[in-house]
Structure 1
Amino acid sequence: MRIRSLAAALTGALALSVLAVPAAHADGDTTITDVVVNGGAELALGPTAPKTFRVSVTARDNSGIREMNLHVRLPSYIYRASDRGLTCTAVSATTTTCSGSWTVDTSNFYGNGPADDPWYIEAYVYGKDGDWLSADKAATFTVRRQAKLTANASPEPVRKNATLTVTGKLTRANWETHKYGGYSGRKAKLQFRKAGTSTYTTVKTVTSGSGGTLKTTVRATADGYWRWYFPGDTTTSTAGATGDYIDVR
C-alpha cells in the first residue's frame, strides 16, 4: 500500500492480540495488562469515508503510571499518535488506562494492502519510579474492507407454498478505485425471519456469482422477511442486507 500523505491518511476486535514484551524493551516492573481497539468491535472501512476509532491501553507499575505514549502503525506506511492526544485515568494506585482516537481516511489509499497486513499498537509506558516499558507491538489488530449486501424477494405478494425467488448482490470496498465492487465466489447465507419474531434463521447457503450476484429459490410458507448474510473473511467485513418483507396469502 502507498499513501499520498501520511498525515492525511491516518489522522486505529477485530482479531486483536496482546503480545509479550521482550525484556530488552523494559526496565523495572512496568507491564501492559490490556489493549482494546474500537471497543472490541470489528473495524471495517468503506471506499472513501473517514472513520474514527479509539484505542485504550491499561498498564501497571508498583509505583503507579506517570505517562504513556501510544501510536498506531502499519509497517512501512503509517505511524501516528492520537488525533487529539490521550486521556488517562488512574484505575488504582498502580494501574492506569490511557485512551485516544485515530481517524483513517481511505480516500488517501492507493490499494487494498491495509486489509492484508496486521496493524500494530506501539506503546511507551513510564512508571513514577523511573521504570519504563517500550513495546513496538503491544497488540495487533485487523482492518477490513467494508462489505454490503442487498436483497429482493419476488413475487410480492405470493401464494402459500409457491416458489419465491430471492436475489441480491454482495459488494465490498475497493480502496484502489474508491468504490464498492462485486465480490464473487463467496458463500452468503439466505436467512428468513418470520413475522412477529426477532431472529433470522439460515435456510440455505449460496455462492456469489459474477459481480457478486446472488440468486436462489425457496418455498413461501409464511409472512416474513428474507435477507442475505455474509459472515466475512480475513480481509472483508460481515454484512447483512435489510430484510425484504413478503406477504404470503
Structure 2
Amino acid sequence: MRIRATVAAVSGALALSAFVVPAAQAADAGSSHRVDFAKYFGQYASSGKTAFSASGAVEGDLDVSFSNFKIAKAIKVGTTNKVSTTVTYTLTHGADVDITSDNFLTVPVIYHGSDATPDSVQGPDLAAVCKAVSATTATCKGSIDIYPKTTDADLKLRNSYAGTWHGAGIALDLESEQSALQTGLATTLVQRNSTLTVNAAPEPVKKGATVTVTGKLSRANWEDHKYHGYTGQSVQLQFRKKGSSTYSTLKTVKTDSTGNLKTTTKATVDGYYRYAFAGTSTTPAVNATGDFVDVK
C-alpha cells in the first residue's frame, strides 16, 4: 500500500473513513490507500480523551500495541533532497487481528511538539512490512520519508522544528474501521544539515611564518531552501601533520554574524588545516576537508 502523509491541523473527532481515502484521490498512481496522519492525531487530540496525553499510552479500538521502536539518533535534512531513515518496531496484537489482511496496515511516524497537539507529523511513503514471529507478535520495518522542498504546505518544515522529535506507531484495519495509536515510543533529532569550508594561505609558506585560515559554517534553512551562515558558534581549528592520521586542536574560533571564520597560526611543518564543528541539538557536527599547506 502506498501511504501519503499530510499534516493539516484538524479539529473535531474524525471517523477512520475520513482520513483513509481511495488512491484515485491520492497523489501517487497505483496506490490503494492514502492516510492523513494529522487527521489521525487530530481524532485523539481534540476528542477529550485524557489517555492521549500520557506518553506511551495506546489509544484506539484496535487491539494493537507497539514496542522496541528503533530509529536513528539523528536525521540530517538539507534544503532539497528527500531524506529517509529506517524504523523497526515490534507489533503486539490480539488473536483476532489479522496482520496479513490487505485491509491491515501499520506505519511509524515522528512528530514535533506535544503528544496531544503536535505541530508537525512526518511519516512514510509506504506502509511498514511486518513478519510474524508468533501468533500475536510481529517484527515490522518501515521508514520516515521527509521532503524538505515539498510544495505541500502541510508537510513543510519550519526552522523552529529542528531538534527533538518523538516516535509513534499507527495501526489501521480499513474493513472494521478500527485503529490504534501509541505515542512516546522513542526520540530522534531532526536537524538542519550543516556545511563547513576551510582555506589556509599562503601556500606554500615559509617555516615560522603566519598562516591565515578562513572558512564558513552554514546550515540549511527549511523555509527558503538555501544555506545560510550559522552565527556565534564555536568551531575548532585543527591540524594534522603530513603522514599522520590524527588531527589535534590548535584553538577555538567563533563564527561571525555571517557564519565566517578567520584566524591565524604559525607554520611549523607540512600538514593539513581544517575547521571542526561539534554540532548542536538542531544542527549536526561537521568537519571541513583538510587544506594542505607546504612549509618551505
Match of 1:150 in 2: 197
Contact between 2:7 and 2:121, CA under 8 Å: does it hold in 1?
no
Say if 2:222 is the partner of 1:188: no
Contact between 1:187 and 1:230, CA under 8 Å: does it hold in 2?
yes
**Structural RMSD (CA):** 3.4
Q: Secondary structure at the match of 1:113?
A: helix
State the AA in 1 paired with 2:247.
Answer: Y
> TM-score, normalised to structure 2's length?
0.65
Contact between 1:50 and 1:105, CA under 8 Å: does it hold in 2?
yes
**Cα separation, 2, equivalents of 1:80 and 1:52:** 11
> TM-score, normalised to structure 1's length?
0.76
Residue ranges of structure 1 left out of the alignment (5+ in a row) = 12-18, 127-131
Contact between 1:120 and 1:140, CA under 8 Å: does it hold in 2?
yes
Larger Rg: 2
Match of 1:22 in 2: 57
Instruction: Write out aligned runs for 1:92-171 (5 A).
Output: 96-108=138-150, 109=156, 111-116=158-163, 118-124=164-170, 134-171=181-218
Residue ranges of structure 2 left out of the alignment (5+ in a row) = 1-5, 9-25, 28-35, 37-53, 100-104, 151-155, 173-178
Judging changes above 3 Å, is the alpha-carbon distance between structure 1 residues 245 and 209 closer, same or farther for their aligned structure 2 residues?
Answer: same
Judging changes above 3 Å, is the alpha-carbon distance between structure 1 residues 145 and 226 closer, same or farther for their aligned structure 2 residues?
Answer: same
Say if 2:255 is the partner of 1:199: no
Per-residue deviation at 1:78?
A: 4.1
Say if 2:107 is the partner of 1:70: yes
**Between the two proteins, what is the percent identity of the paired residues?**
39
By relative contact order (CA 8 Å, sep 6+), the higher-ranking structure is 1
Per-residue deviation at 1:76?
A: 4.2
Match of 1:35 in 2: 69
Q: Secondary structure at the match of 1:217?
A: strand
Per-residue deviation at 1:84?
A: 1.9
Match of 1:223 in 2: 270
Q: Number of residues paired by the alignment? A: 227
What's the CA shift string for 1:77-127, capped at 9, x where partnerless? 5446531221224567876421112221111336312215x423222479x
Q: Secondary structure at the match of 1:142?
A: strand
Per-residue deviation at 1:164?
A: 1.0
Answer 1 or 2: which has greater strand percent: 1
Match of 2:13 in 1: none
**Cα separation, 1, equivalents of 2:147 and 2:59:** 35
